[in-house]
Chain A
């Protein structure tokens, strides 16, 4: 039998259900793999060893009793450390939340447990999800399993690396400007940013509330579809969560690309695009054509205005959301402060890292008296223009195909001194959050150095079913997983 840790989530589920393997064996294999490999990758912040084994025993007992332990029974899953876990540390990658123990589970965690999934632990991330390399973590620096000298991307770098290094078959991340899709691309795994409102944000530590969404990483697109099916749907505890019905994403997969029209936005293939990424995405487009798809060039004329708009709106929302870290109710407090104002300032200045402070400053500035119209209001208007671009494109086509990132995984320290360069890592992903539509990053090849490259498929609001069936069909055609493995973590 193939090593257990190499199986897809979908294969694991069917083998557990048929009692070919037990949930306990599966969890043990995961824990052993983490113990053997994670000291080199540093994807996990916390591992729930005893909890996971206890849950696995419950699943095995339920199966031997003949009762249904749920659609994800026995599936090990990693959670980004931005998701609230009752009784278990949740740091959000920040020193300000060191030692913080939430008293409730995020809705997604609750739903996963109810479906029989087994949370294995919490993964590392850029502090408060602000970053594109996981170098902004207040803790360790996660390494890219394909080349340990390179970043895994961010901010959900730990989750992407955990799946890529075969530590877990599936993981959850969150995506505010590309934080699932960019690390998915850099680590060579599929990752989905869901439609705004599709997945409850209750228990997701807030960064930019009008942009944040939770989504899955998997070994394959079908894994992503299975996890999404469980976590999607209305939640009365998140007033922005949508009552739109949840499709049976897995049942839709066999339809492939039937009836779908693909658009290729010319602005996403600029002259400065990394040549190997451009070539890999174009080769994937040829595959689609070969599968009988119709492709047409479309235009999203305001693409160049994405990053300025994103960095105004995201930092403005962040400056407001992060005002709650005041040292009074939870998190780090500077005990030496003699009065309240000093306590706020000292606690925040010591507790937050440099990138978080930089973004709070930028956000406070763009919202401050006299500048609101020049920055915040203007950015909100440009957001309208960006949304119109997509509405227009989706009148002609059902899905859009673009590169996920402008370049492959970069080396540690390469962009840390230049925040603007780091921000440009999100150039193809951030618009999707501003517009609120879903997008899937799919590995589509490797470059000459053997680093994975990703393409992005973008769908209509709540069009996850179309997105995933097209993604799965293209994935089968590309055969990435069978051809390429991260060399750096092979035994």
Chain B
């Protein structure tokens, strides 16, 4: 199934990414090429097969609920582009 430019725009919105019109054209062509290749999976009859999400045999990794030291607020904020009074700061949320 071919993916239209309008749909690529919609996906970009979902992914929180901006693209120029030119980038959008290249991206659509590349995505279509990759999706075309992926269609190979349609050759398989997989109706009754169980999906595998994880190959690990560990299912529930329980541990004791004990308090362990955590990092101080100042360290947690050390990489923040902006912070104030012990909080991350962002531009206004509601316009």
Give the interface of A toward B (CB within 8 A): 100-101, 103-104, 196-197, 210, 236, 239-243, 302, 304-305, 307-309, 311-312, 319, 323, 326-333, 335, 337-346, 348-349, 352, 357-358, 360-362, 364-365, 368, 374-375, 377-385, 387, 419-420, 423, 434-436, 461
Question: Which of the listed residues B17, B53, B88, B93 has the most CB atoms from chain A within 10 Å of its own CB?
Answer: B17
B18 proximal to A (CB < 8 A) = yes
Q: List 8 A-B contacts (CB under 8 A).
A: A101-B78, A331-B81, A332-B81, A338-B91, A361-B17, A380-B53, A384-B52, A419-B33
Query: Whole-angstrom distance between the alpha carbons of A103 and B76 in the complex?
Result: 8
Closest beta carbon of chain A to B56's beta carbon, Å: 5
Indicate which residue in B8, B80, B82, B92 contacts A361 across the interface (CB closer than 8 Å): B8
Query: Whole-angstrom distance between the alpha carbons of A349 and B19 in the complex?
Result: 8
Q: Is the CB of B17 within 8 A of A381?
A: no
Q: Is the CB of B52 within 8 A of A361?
A: no
Query: Whole-angstrom distance between the alpha carbons of A337 and B79 in the complex?
Result: 19
Which residues from A are CB-within-8-Å of B76? 103
Query: Whole-angstrom distance between the alpha carbons of A319 and B11 in the complex?
Result: 11
Query: Whole-angstrom distance between the alpha carbons of A29 and B1 in the complex?
Result: 57
Q: Is the CB of A365 within 8 A of B80?
A: no
Q: Is the CB of B79 within 8 A of A100?
A: yes
Q: Is the CB of B90 within 8 A of A239?
A: no
Q: Is the CB of A340 within 8 A of B93?
A: yes
Q: Mark B70-89, 1 if CB is under 8 A from A, else 0.
A: 01000110111110000010
Q: Is the CB of B61 within 8 A of A365?
A: no
Which residues from B are CB-within-8-Å of A210? 53-55
Q: Is the CB of B63 within 8 A of A311?
A: no
Which residues from B are CB-within-8-Å of A311? 34, 38
Query: Whole-angstrom distance between the alpha carbons of A104 and B71 in the complex?
Result: 9
Tell me whether chain A's interface is mostly helix, strand or loop, or mixed: helix
B6 proximal to A (CB < 8 A) = no
Which residues from A are CB-within-8-Å of B81? 327-328, 330-333, 335
Known: A309-B41, A348-B16, A349-B17. A364 touches B11 (CB 8 A): yes
Q: Is the CB of B31 within 8 A of A375?
A: no
- 10 additional A-B pairs beyond A308-B41, A434-B55, beta carbons within 8 Å, are A103-B76, A240-B54, A335-B81, A339-B91, A340-B91, A342-B91, A362-B35, A364-B11, A381-B52, A420-B34
Closest beta carbon of chain A to B34's beta carbon, Å: 6
Q: Which residue of A lies closest to B3 (CB)?
A: A365
Q: Is the CB of B61 within 8 A of A239?
A: yes
Which residues from A are CB-within-8-Å of B14? 364, 368
Query: Whole-angstrom distance between the alpha carbons of A240 and B41 in the complex?
Result: 28
Q: Is the CB of A368 within 8 A of B55?
A: no
Give the interface of B toward A (CB within 8 A): 1, 3, 7-8, 11-12, 14-19, 27, 30-31, 33-35, 37-41, 44, 46, 49-58, 61, 63, 71, 75-76, 78-82, 88, 90-93, 95
Q: Which residue of A lies closest to B42 (CB)?
A: A378
Query: Whole-angstrom distance between the alpha carbons of A329 and B95 in the complex?
Result: 21
Closest beta carbon of chain B to A49's beta carbon, Å: 23
Closest beta carbon of chain B to A235's beta carbon, Å: 10
Q: Which residue of A lies closest to B28 (CB)?
A: A361
Q: Is the CB of A101 within 8 A of B16?
A: no
Indicate which residue in A103, A360, A382 contacts B41 across the interface (CB closer than 8 Å): A382
Q: Is the CB of A361 within 8 A of B11?
A: yes
Indicate which residue in A331, A375, A384 contacts B50 across the interface (CB closer than 8 Å): A384
Indicate which residue in A236, A308, A328, A435 contacts B55 across the interface (CB closer than 8 Å): A435
Which residues from A are CB-within-8-Å of B82? 333
Q: Is the CB of A307 within 8 A of B37?
A: yes
Query: Whole-angstrom distance between the alpha carbons of A197 and B59 in the complex?
Result: 12
Q: Is the CB of A380 within 8 A of B51?
A: yes
Q: Is the CB of B15 within 8 A of A360?
A: yes
Known: A309-B41, A387-B52. A331 touches B79 (CB 8 A): yes
Which residues from B are CB-within-8-Å of A368? 11, 14
Indicate which residue in A239, A330, A332, A383 contacts B58 across the interface (CB closer than 8 Å): A239
Closest beta carbon of chain A to B50's beta carbon, Å: 6
Q: Is the CB of A387 within 8 A of B31?
A: no
Query: Whole-angstrom distance between the alpha carbons of A164 and B20 in the complex?
Result: 41
Q: Is the CB of B90 within 8 A of A340?
A: yes
Closest beta carbon of chain B to A128's beta carbon, Å: 14
Question: Which of the listed residues B38, B44, B92 has the most CB atoms from chain A within 10 Å of its own CB?
Answer: B38
Which residues from A are CB-within-8-Å of B46? 378, 381-382, 385
Which residues from B are CB-within-8-Å of A304? 40
* Shortest Cβ-Cβ A-B pairs, 7 listed: A436-B55, A380-B51, A330-B79, A333-B81, A239-B61, A381-B49, A383-B52
